[in-house]
Structure 1
């Protein structure tokens, strides 16, 4: 009996196509040495009879392997396993005990994992969520966005529209953003001051990779966004933390630090300090800009939710009052529309933007030009501006409902200040409460909230961000009721 009778198994009810099943199995048996170079295969007629398939199917399989170089055909003699195949394909080159049992799951080569990157990505799937401060995608102008996106796909010069574009981002969006940011943020920009990125995290990566050197000192708040710290650490920077209080970062401590050590960059969320949501006070803003000019350090200003301020008009960013070009200003449409739409912007001096766009080219040739032009369309038509005004009113109502619920239902177990802006409430729990355990119990009841570890370097703090914007008032009521019941147990 020919060896192929036992080696080949065909299932006509399964994919891939039968000829590919034959070809793939033959290829695998050649690789593992069961079919050796020079071995003569059955004729297409004989193998088709053995397998119970049409002769043409076997011919297709043989042709596939002939084209790939696994087989060779000798006129008048038949089809053979290619004699030129090297022996390395037919044997293991390493000790079998050292070879991974499942190469799909574990590589056969060594590499060094980076512990600081070993943090799970947030993917909230529960029906209720007091998240990190995300928008409610149900409010997003999805119909307008859909129409604009379709228009970008189908109209205009297809070669230009669907081809390669500027690594800085779509020119139309940069022009619209320049006008929008100048009007709303008090900036003084042109399109050449703007680099379109996938989001703030990409802006941080580019700045860390392009402007930081190994051993540079970077200053952050003692509580802050871990995503920023990861980028700085990956670039080899030393992370120096300073305190913050009810008025934002302690600039006195920063100045004392500058007198002792050379600071390369400071990361700030000046409008709504992350995670506490407090605003950096005016006098501290002025001194921060003065110190940056005096000591020559970069200010990376992450303005992650500028548009959502409820007490008064939003505070203008540091970048609007920077006379020396020390500030890089970063924001995105993640909070304005939805995290799924990855369009953000990095604003800075032209030479820096050009430098970072060159770096961006080697990791991401360009962004989603169609989506970028769609956002430009919505900015030009005022859709995004109207959506933001509507969202601010809605989120303010939700903030008030949520804070009243916290006070009335959990007032003896939590402490908080009503935030002037943002999408979350910085909430301190009674130290006797195990936040990690409470978060686990709430999740079992369908409610997600962070246990606070992601915000605090000092793990004995009993505080976390409770997001209200992505939930309706009714959903907020149910969420607080779940917390209340779990705290009683």
Structure 2
């Protein structure tokens, strides 16, 4: 048995007196590591509390507390009149002792890797940044948000409910949201038809888990939404692309596919197709519903930016004309608010909703009752309506600004149609240009262009350029840099 004098305690016990962790716990944690990695062998006797306290320059009671904690955790045995001893049986670590000061870089076990789920989003710290169309959180009415949220926290009735959350969502919020959806989108639903999620992506994930099996065919528009495609492929579905033109997804091409293959699902963003921003025309909406009735496929309708319309009343969701229960409607609420106040939702018939609640209960059992209650109050008080009314005027001005800038500065190289809604424009180049080089050279000029907004394939060179997050001065400067970079590339 080694003598305590032979063990170099000072070499592996390093006390940080400014840390939030109590000193006695720092000693405990570092002694455990030393025991695990055989720096202190089994059965070794530790120094007396007085001796170790002098060695570490701490109070003796601190060492007493450390030894008591180690004994309580089962690392030491304290024998009266003999001292403290390390337990005799300690699992051996395969790792080398000198490598244990750092957390392992790799697992010691194998696992399945997937290139399908590689994150397509890029982020960069640049003066100007393009994205695929996000709101400007600077327009958020912070005072309204903080007032409603603070009130929700202070109410006694809510404090009583904080300890328990029904994973099906706040019933109060669902009642308010169902009423809001009915008034704004014409969907005659009850709270039983609603599932509250964290995001549109979570909604699609739950739907895919229930509806899709390996080998099922999912028809998607081309070009399409990469995040949704990754979710479908994760469930080993087969993606069949359908062309998208100025009237939206080509229903004739979809019909021809259905005549040859058994289609399980059609995924669409009919209000403003992602990424091209075109709206699905009324004749094609009716044709799509007729095809679903005839061939029995489910329609997943995602309305990611329904609230952002500028020139005319939006077309009602496809789900409002569905009488056969063929449409699952995916939406978002509070997109114009600060990120913590945004949420997703699914509208579906009762029988499908019952199954979706089971899946939500597994992946998001905790929920956020305070946030949902606050959102419900914002609907009931009309805060949401007032905020949208104010922000829509600003977003419309920004949409007009970016179209004028593209038409004026970049018309020699690309063209962009003015969208009726949404927070992005679709710009197509007149002739092919290397978009990767364009992004690289733009970054050198402090304009960041992420790869997820670039679309380059045979016969198509295009970009989805978000305008919602930039004010007019930022739009002017970023578009100036953008067009100058295109000019440099010839």
TM over 0.5: yes
Q: Which residue of 1 aligns with 2:56?
A: 51
CA shift, 1:55, in A, is 1.2
CA distance in 2, matches of 1:357, 1:459: 42
Instruction: Give the counterpart of 2:36 among 31, 34, 37.
Output: 31
Q: Residues 205 and 8 from structure 1, CA distance in 2 versus in 1: closer, same or farther, beyond 3 angstroms? A: closer
Q: Which residue of 1 aligns with 2:70?
A: 65
Q: Residues 124 and 382 from structure 1, CA distance in 2 versus in 1: closer, same or farther, beyond 3 angstroms? A: farther
CA shift, 1:344, in A, is 1.3
CA distance in 1, matches of 2:127, 2:172: 38
Paired residues of 2:453 and 2:465 also in contact (CA < 8 A): no
1:149 paired to 2:149: yes
Between stretches 104-113 and 114-123, larger displacement belongs to 114-123
CA distance in 2, matches of 1:241, 1:408: 34
Q: Which residue of 1 aligns with 2:235?
A: 235
Q: Secondary structure at the match of 1:116?
A: coil
Paired residues of 2:398 and 2:467 also in contact (CA < 8 A): yes
1:174 paired to 2:174: yes
CA distance in 2, matches of 1:324, 1:153: 42
Over residues 101-159 of structure 1, what are the superposed CA-to-partner deviations in whole Å (9 max), with x where a residue is unaligned? 96532111111211111124444543423320111111122211111000111103245
Between stretches 121-130 and 479-488, larger displacement belongs to 121-130
Q: What residue ranges of structure 1 are gaps of 5+ in the alignment? A: none
CA shift, 1:236, in A, is 1.6
Q: Secondary structure at the match of 1:259?
A: helix
Q: Residues 14 and 438 from structure 1, CA distance in 2 versus in 1: closer, same or farther, beyond 3 angstroms? A: same
Q: Which residue of 2 aligns with 1:440?
A: 440
CA shift, 1:212, in A, is 1.2
Q: Which residue of 1 aligns with 2:26?
A: 21
1:465 paired to 2:464: yes
Between stretches 4-13 and 397-406, larger displacement belongs to 4-13
CA distance in 2, matches of 1:122, 1:213: 31
CA distance in 2, matches of 1:403, 1:46: 77
Alignment of 1:285-296 (within 5 A): 285-296=285-296
Q: Secondary structure at the match of 1:165?
A: coil
1:480 paired to 2:474: no
Paired residues of 1:417 and 1:425 also in contact (CA < 8 A): yes
CA distance in 2, matches of 1:474, 1:338: 22
Q: Which residue of 2 aligns with 1:408?
A: 408
Over residues 153-206 of structure 1, what are the superposed CA-to-partner deviations in whole Å (9 max), with x where a residue is unaligned? 110324543122222211111111111111111111001011011010010000
Q: Residues 375 and 159 from structure 1, CA distance in 2 versus in 1: closer, same or farther, beyond 3 angstroms? A: closer
Q: Residues 461 and 3 from structure 1, CA distance in 2 versus in 1: closer, same or farther, beyond 3 angstroms? A: farther
Paired residues of 2:454 and 2:462 also in contact (CA < 8 A): no
CA distance in 1, matches of 2:112, 2:333: 35
CA distance in 1, matches of 2:407, 2:367: 44
Instruction: Give the counterpart of 1:2 among 2, 5, 8.
Output: 5
State the number of aligned residues. Answer: 482
Over residues 438-487 of structure 1, what are the superposed CA-to-partner deviations in whole Å (9 max), with x where a residue is unaligned? 2222223332334466556x366310111111111111111111112222
Q: What residue ranges of structure 2 are gaps of 5+ in the alignment? A: none
Q: Which residue of 1 aligns with 2:107?
A: 107
Alignment of 1:52-451 (within 5 A): 52-83=57-88, 85-86=89-90, 89-92=91-94, 103-123=103-123, 125-333=125-333, 335-451=335-451
CA distance in 2, matches of 1:360, 1:133: 28
CA distance in 2, matches of 1:255, 1:249: 11
Q: Secondary structure at the match of 1:227?
A: helix
Between stretches 31-40 and 13-22, larger displacement belongs to 13-22
CA distance in 2, matches of 1:193, 1:128: 42
Q: RMSD over aligned Cα, in angstroms? A: 2.2
TM-score, structure 1 as length reference: 0.93
Paired residues of 2:35 and 2:41 also in contact (CA < 8 A): yes
Q: Secondary structure at the match of 1:433?
A: coil
CA shift, 1:432, in A, is 4.4
Between stretches 276-285 and 121-130, larger displacement belongs to 121-130
Q: Secondary structure at the match of 1:224?
A: coil
Over residues 249-283 of structure 1, what are the superposed CA-to-partner deviations in whole Å (9 max), with x where a residue is unaligned? 00001111111111111100001011000010111
CA distance in 1, matches of 2:429, 2:290: 37
Q: Which residue of 1 aligns with 2:46?
A: 41
Paired residues of 2:123 and 2:450 also in contact (CA < 8 A): no
CA distance in 2, matches of 1:102, 1:238: 43
CA shift, 1:27, in A, is 1.4
Paired residues of 1:148 and 1:377 also in contact (CA < 8 A): yes
Between stretches 426-435 and 265-274, larger displacement belongs to 426-435
Q: Secondary structure at the match of 2:175?
A: helix
TM-score, structure 2 as length reference: 0.93
Paired residues of 2:432 and 2:460 also in contact (CA < 8 A): no
CA distance in 2, matches of 1:464, 1:210: 33
Paired residues of 2:265 and 2:297 also in contact (CA < 8 A): yes
Paired residues of 1:100 and 1:108 also in contact (CA < 8 A): no
CA shift, 1:340, in A, is 4.1
Q: Secondary structure at the match of 2:188?
A: coil
Q: Residues 10 and 396 from structure 1, CA distance in 2 versus in 1: closer, same or farther, beyond 3 angstroms? A: closer
Q: Secondary structure at the match of 2:274?
A: coil
